[in-house]
Amino acid sequence: MGGERIAEQVSKSLRRLRDSDHGQDLLEYAFLASLISLFAVGAVTLLGQLIDQVFWQNVAASL
């Protein structure tokens, strides 16, 4: 009997959480911020590699 009551309460809580849209905006902003940061890291990495190649090619050519 006690286990059924706990299972019912958990089920109600999960249904309420699933149906609630409270906090959805925060999740969307967090997702957007993570995508922007991933793009920024990728762009800086590629730019750094390009600068590194150009710089070292000039250094190697001058030696």
**Encoded tokens for 31:** 């997702």
pLDDT tens series, the chain, 63 aa:
566 888 888 888 878 877 777 667 778 889 999 999 999 999 999 999 999 888 888 888 887
Confidence at residue 40, expressed as pLDDT on a 0 to 100 scale: 97
For residues 61 and 55, give the distance between their C-alpha atoms in angstroms, rounded to a whole number. 10
Chain centroid, CA 56 distance in Å: 34
Confidence at residue 33, expressed as pLDDT on a 0 to 100 scale: 95
The structural domains of the chain, with segments of one domain joined by +, span: 23-63
Looking up tokens 């922007």, which residue turns up? Answer: 36
Q: In the 8-state DSSP scheme, what is residue 6?
A: H
Confidence at residue 19, expressed as pLDDT on a 0 to 100 scale: 75
Confidence at residue 32, expressed as pLDDT on a 0 to 100 scale: 94
